[in-house]
């Protein structure tokens, strides 16, 4: 026996409208945004960072770097992925 679809129409319309709006916002955000530029000096600084967490404090600021490099393989000789995560940070406090 077939089920009547008329009672489900408002629910389906509401869900479709909600997901359609989210999809439209995501599409517009990807089309309008211009690609970010790549600063080679920042890339070189991230490549030169040592693995682990390093903090350096000077009289007027505190700098920190963190780097984690890992290789994940499927099996012993299988395909792998290298993960290289680097973060640079600076905290500067001044009295005004």
List the domain boundaries for the chain. 40-92
Q: Against a cut of 0.75, is the pTM above it?
A: no
Burial (CB count <10 Å: 0-12, 13-18, 19+), residue 6:
exposed
The predicted pLDDT at position 53 comes to: 93
Q: What is the mean pLDDT of the chain?
A: 87
Cβ proximity of 69 and 82 under 8 Å = yes
The predicted pLDDT at position 9 comes to: 79
Task: State the pLDDT confidence band at 11, using cuts at 50, 70 and 90.
Answer: confident
Q: Where are the beta strands (DSSP E) in 16-60?
A: 52-57
């Amino acid at each position: 026996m077939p089920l009547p679809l008329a009672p489900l129409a408002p629910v389906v319309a509401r869900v479709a409208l909600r997901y359609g709006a989210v999809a439209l916002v995501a599409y517009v955000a990807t089309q309008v945004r211009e690609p970010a530029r790549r600063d080679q000096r920042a890339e070189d600084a991230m490549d030169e960072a040592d693995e682990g967490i390093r903090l350096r404090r000077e009289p007027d600021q505190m700098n920190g770097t963190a780097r984690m490099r890992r290789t994940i393989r499927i099996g012993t000789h299988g395909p792998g992925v290298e993960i290289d995560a680097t973060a640079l940070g600076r905290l500067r406090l001044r009295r005004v």
